[in-house]
């Protein structure tokens, strides 16, 4: 037996957090939707498509930067400085950086909104997990971009990578010919930074794979305002570089982009095992959250085969491609039948309202139950002089406080046959009670609750009015903010196209969850009586959130006025992203350092005189047997003495499958600045130690003395900056 999980309204902690989130969204709505016919210019409703637009913006600005960028440790820093020398180049570079930061922030906000609104489990697991995988890819791409600047932040990042990777990769950046040897590194990083984002197209496709009519483009106003916000912040705080990378100097205090490079100081203070252990654990929790915190909905829907006519309306209106039409071969005259994919169903009920023949129902909430409860309650309970107004609302509006509490609230317990066990455990879908108007007078009200207003059948409101209701208010979320993507769109489409739904005093109110005042205001007008109520009967059926009843402003200035709050919000988001460019201090055990790098081949274990005569007889004359036959080499051993004290000793194993390659290593030793006697001894034949470096050196504060082994001269040499 499957585990009984909590439905949307019963997950109280998430609902409390979601109420706080929607409170912020309502503030933006009220500031940006003053005129009734305008939908709110609310960036929070378009965070997903905003992320896609930021990717496009990064591609455009990145292409410009790539044209003028020159790879290589000797040219990278200079070319970036050259780009920033002009106002347009500085604008491109700065907005590229801030757009990358804004991308991470917008993605986090989008994920947070999906989490708080319970849109991350069930059939939505693919979108959730693929989204977090793309966040990781975003971070990797952005982190690689900071290598290309080649300042001290890039040096810190590279030194961190060297400590993890070591080997020949590490030696390439400290040896005397590092410019030539590291050019390929810059080319590879540039290639990955430019071309890996192309693969994000696949990620976006996977992310929206289960969505019907997926939205890829942000509204035009949002794209324009985003560019304006990026340009404004970029001009106010242009990006700058830290001092150029120099491995002969220690990184002490540099400015870091904490969105991408914040792991450097954090891992330095916490230690790599703890930091990466916590990070991997957090990523694992996020990726598996759809199963760790799985909820339950009222679906899946099921098709009543004898009633299905194969009209395909349910498949067309399903927002998640959960219904497909297949060929039908039975006694009915219809050629196709709707087939439900339970794993893709979200329990929204949009398909229920789409079907004109009652051929599809939610398993845990048959529509007949709600309709019978409404009619039965209307006929039994309201026989007085005043009929109630019926409020239709989705679970989200009810849970987030849009519906004021009912006085004398009486739940209507269904007595319909066929009620499932899941439904029996649910709160009642129909409740009756009273509300008080401004004068304190009591008026009867009924509230009918559906998973989504898209489930509202075209005849429900008409049936309740025929049964005696004084009117009906259908409360929907904003079109751009439905928990099931398209519920408000379809219910508005039905209201406008089907007269049966508009019978009587019926109104569709599109408001943000928690907008209690807007609902009460409309209800008060309906029950006020007199000319006000009569005028409302002939008012437009669709009503959106409005703060002031004023004429529509068609001038460009009037329209732009309502864009300013959205622009201010976007500027704030970009500014918050920019504020994460903060200094960080590298923890230095001492104020100076010695770096010893070596790449050397030890002596071969087997000499020619040790080979059997039959083997040497087959070899050409004057040819070293080891050249032809190869052979394992001795490991290279190194000792470092500082002021006569042995501070470091290590052994480097030969590379290669047969241990026939060279040995490589990079060692670091911290010490106080000043004069020191440095001695290095080497053993490459398994028996004899020899001194390959012995000098008295002066190390300045903040200096890193780099000593690299010269294989030709068998001596360590000092690497100059």
How many Cβ atoms sit within 10 Å of the Cβ of residue 548? 7
Mean pLDDT of 401-419: 70
pLDDT category at 348 given cuts 50, 70, 90 is very high
Nearest to 479 by CA among 40, 62, 160, 119: 40
Torsion of CA 194, 196, 198, 203, to 10 degrees: -150
Pairing of the two strands 506-510 and 407-411 = unpaired
pLDDT category at 572 given cuts 50, 70, 90 is confident
Angle in degrees, 0-180, between the axes of helices 125-149 and 87-116, rounded to the nearest 10: 150
pLDDT for 101 equals 93
What digits encode the pLDDT tens for the residues 152-200? 999 999 989 888 876 677 788 887 777 677 888 899 999 999 888 888 8
pLDDT for 507 equals 84
CA distance 635 to 659: 9
8-state DSSP, 470:
S
511 contacts 480 by C-beta, under 8 angstroms: no
What digits encode the pLDDT tens for the residues 122-137? 999 999 999 999 999 9
Q: Tokens 């009984």 appear where?
A: 4
Which residues share a beta bridge with 638? 650, 682
Mean pLDDT of 586-612: 78
Take residue 495 and report the two structure tokens written for it.
Answer: 């209201």
pLDDT for 221 equals 87
pLDDT for 291 equals 95
35 contacts 545 by C-beta, under 8 angstroms: no
| Total residue count of the chain as it appears in this document | 721
What digits encode the pLDDT tens for the residues 79-122? 999 999 999 999 999 999 999 999 999 999 999 999 999 999 99
CA distance 386 to 380: 14
More confident residue, 79 or 432: 79
pLDDT category at 415 given cuts 50, 70, 90 is very low
CA distance 197 to 109: 21
Strand ranges across the sheet with 542-544: 407-411, 430-436, 442-450, 389-394, 471-476, 506-510, 542-544
What digits encode the pLDDT tens for the residues 682-698? 998 888 899 999 999 99
Mean pLDDT of 503-514: 83
What digits encode the pLDDT tens for the residues 255-291? 999 999 999 999 989 999 999 999 999 999 999 999 9
More confident residue, 4 or 234: 234
CA distance 650 to 643: 18
Least confident piece of the model among 224-228, 565-569, 644-648, 665-669? 565-569
What digits encode the pLDDT tens for the residues 525-549? 888 876 666 666 655 555 554 333 3
pLDDT for 266 equals 94
Q: Tokens 């039908």 appear where?
A: 328
Nearest to 287 by CA among 118, 116, 141, 130: 130
User: How confident is the prediction for the chain on average, in pLDDT?
Assistant: 84
Taking 80 as the threshold, does the pLDDT of residue 3 lie above it? no
Take residue 109 and report the two structure tokens written for it.
Answer: 């906000």
What digits encode the pLDDT tens for the residues 441-471? 888 898 888 899 999 876 777 777 777 788 8
Taking 60 as the threshold, does the pLDDT of residue 425 lie above it? no
pLDDT for 249 equals 92
Least confident piece of the model among 374-388, 421-435, 691-705? 421-435
Q: How far is CA 577 from the centre of its chain?
A: 15
**CA-based angle 529:531:532, to the nearest 5?**
70
8-state DSSP, 361:
E
SS3 content of the chain, % helix, strand, coil (to 5): 45, 20, 35
CA distance 599 to 709: 7
More confident residue, 655 or 61: 61
- Helices assigned H by DSSP within 640-683: none
8-state DSSP, 604:
B
Strand ranges across the sheet with 715-718: 663-671, 592-600, 704-710, 715-718
Taking 80 as the threshold, does the pLDDT of residue 626 lie above it? no
Domains of the chain are 39-113+135-257 (1.20.810.10), 299-363 (3.30.70.3270), 372-550 (3.40.50), 592-718 (2.60.40)
As a whole number of Å, the end-to-end CA separation of the chain is 70
- Helices assigned H by DSSP within 338-468: 350-354, 367-381, 395-399, 421-424, 460-466
pLDDT for 518 equals 87
Which residues share a beta bridge with 641? 646, 679
125 contacts 119 by C-beta, under 8 angstroms: no
Taking 90 as the threshold, does the pLDDT of residue 413 lie above it? no
CA distance 310 to 326: 9
How many Cβ atoms sit within 10 Å of the Cβ of residue 329? 8
CA distance 418 to 688: 91
Label residue 294 exposed, middle or buried (CB < 10 Å: 0-12, 13-18, 19+): middle
- Percent of the chain, pLDDT > 70? 84
pLDDT for 643 equals 94
pLDDT for 421 equals 37
Nearest to 400 by CA among 487, 335, 455, 475: 475
CA distance 116 to 112: 6
What digits encode the pLDDT tens for the residues 10-47? 899 999 999 999 999 998 888 776 544 446 788 999 99
Torsion of CA 187, 189, 192, 193, to 10 degrees: -110
Taking 60 as the threshold, does the pLDDT of residue 321 lie above it? yes
- Percent of the chain, pLDDT > 90? 49
134 contacts 205 by C-beta, under 8 angstroms: no
Q: How far is CA 610 from the centre of its chain?
A: 64
pLDDT for 36 equals 41
pLDDT for 608 equals 47
Q: How far is CA 103 from CA 230, 385, 540, 568, in A?
A: 12, 59, 40, 17
How many Cβ atoms sit within 10 Å of the Cβ of residue 223? 18
Q: 616 phi and psi, to 5 degrees?
A: -65, -25
340 contacts 352 by C-beta, under 8 angstroms: no
CA distance 681 to 698: 20
Pairing of the two strands 336-340 and 442-450 = unpaired
Mean pLDDT of 664-670: 90
SS3 329: coil
8-state DSSP, 260:
H
Q: 455 phi and psi, to 5 degrees?
A: -80, -10
592 contacts 672 by C-beta, under 8 angstroms: yes
Mean pLDDT of 129-146: 95
């Amino acid at each position: 037996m499957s585990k009984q999980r909590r439905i949307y309204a019963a997950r109280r902690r998430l609902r409390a957090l979601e109420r706080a989130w929607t409170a912020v969204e309502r503030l933006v709505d009220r500031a940006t939707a003053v005129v009734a016919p305008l939908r709110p210019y609310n960036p929070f409703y378009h965070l997903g498509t905003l992320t896609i637009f930021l990717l496009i913006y990064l591609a455009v600005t990145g292409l410009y930067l790539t044209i003028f960028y020159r790879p290589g440790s000797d040219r990278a820093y200079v070319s970036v400085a050259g780009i920033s020398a002009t106002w347009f180049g500085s604008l491109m570079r700065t907005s590229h950086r801030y757009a990358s930061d804004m991308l991470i922030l917008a993605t986090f906000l989008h994920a947070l909104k999906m989490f708080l609104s319970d849109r991350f489990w069930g059939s939505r697991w693919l979108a959730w997990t693929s989204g977090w995988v793309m966040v990781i890819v975003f971070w990797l791409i952005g982190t690689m971009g900071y290598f290309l600047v080649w300042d001290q932040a890039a040096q810190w990042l590279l030194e961190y990578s060297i400590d993890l990777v070591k080997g020949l990769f590490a030696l390439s950046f400290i040896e005397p010919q590092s410019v030539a040897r590291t050019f390929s590194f810059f080319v590879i990083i540039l290639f990955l930074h430019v071309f890996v984002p192309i693969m994000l197209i696949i990620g976006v496709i996977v992310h929206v794979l289960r969505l019907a009519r997926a939205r890829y483009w942000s509204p035009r106003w949002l794209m324009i305002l985003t560019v304006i916000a990026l340009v404004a912040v970029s001009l106010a705080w242009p990006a700058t570089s830290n001092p150029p990378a120099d491995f002969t100097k220690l990184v002490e205090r540099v400015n870091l982009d904490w969105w991408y490079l914040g792991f450097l100081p954090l891992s330095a203070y916490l230690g790599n095992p703890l930091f990466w252990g916590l990070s991997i654990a957090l990523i694992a929790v996020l990726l598996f959250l759809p199963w760790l915190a799985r909820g339950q909905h009222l679906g899946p829907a099921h098709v009543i085969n004898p009633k299905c006519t194969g009209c395909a309306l349910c498949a067309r209106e399903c927002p998640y491609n959960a219904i497909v039409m297949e060929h039908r071969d039975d006694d009915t005259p219809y050629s196709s039948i709707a087939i439900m994919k339970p794993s893709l169903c979200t329990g929204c009920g949009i398909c229920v309202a789409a079907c004109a023949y009652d051929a599809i129902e939610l398993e845990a909430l048959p529509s007949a139950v709600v309709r019978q409860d409404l009619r039965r309650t209307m006929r039994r309970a309201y026989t007085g002089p005043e009929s109630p107004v019926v409020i239709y609302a989705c679970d989200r509006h009810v849970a987030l406080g849009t519906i004021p509490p009912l006085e004398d609230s009486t739940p209507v317990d269904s007595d319909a046959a066929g009620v499932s066990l899941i439904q029996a455990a649910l709160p009642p879908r129909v409740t009756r009670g009273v509300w008080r108007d401004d004068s304190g007078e009591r008026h009867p009200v009924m509230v009918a609750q559906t998973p989504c207003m898209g489930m509202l059948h075209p005849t429900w409101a008409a049936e309740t009015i025929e049964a005696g209701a004084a009117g009906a208010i259908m409360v929907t979320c904003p079109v751009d903010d439905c928990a099931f993507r398209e519920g408000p769109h379809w219910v508005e489409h039905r209201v406008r196209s089907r007269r049966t739904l508009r019978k009587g005093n019926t109104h569709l109110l599109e408001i943000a969850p928690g907008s209690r005042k807007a609902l009460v205001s409309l209800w008060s007008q309906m029950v006020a009586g007199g000319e006000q109520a009569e005028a409302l009967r002939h008012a437009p059926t669709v009503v959106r959130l409005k703060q002031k009843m004023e004429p529509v402003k068609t001038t460009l200035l009037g329209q732009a006025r309502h864009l300013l709050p959205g622009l201010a919000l976007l500027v704030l988001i970009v500014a918050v992203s920019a504020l994460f460019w903060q200094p960080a201090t590298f923890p230095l055990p001492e104020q100076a350092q010695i770096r010893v790098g070596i790449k050397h081949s030890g002596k071969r274990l087997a000499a020619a005189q040790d080979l059997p005569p039959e083997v040497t007889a087959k070899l050409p004359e004057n040819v070293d047997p080891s050249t032809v036959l190869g052979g394992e080499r001795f490991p290279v051993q190194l000792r470092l003495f500082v002021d006569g004290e042995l501070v470091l000793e290590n052994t480097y194993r030969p590379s290669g499958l047969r241990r026939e390659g060279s040995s490589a290593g990079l060692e670091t030793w911290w010490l106080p600045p000043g004069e020191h006697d440095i001695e290095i001894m080497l053993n490459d034949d398994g028996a004899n130690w020899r001194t390959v470096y012995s000098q008295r050196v002066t190390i300045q504060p903040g200096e890193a003395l780099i000593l690299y082994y010269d294989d030709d001269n068998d001596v360590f040499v000092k690497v100059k900056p």
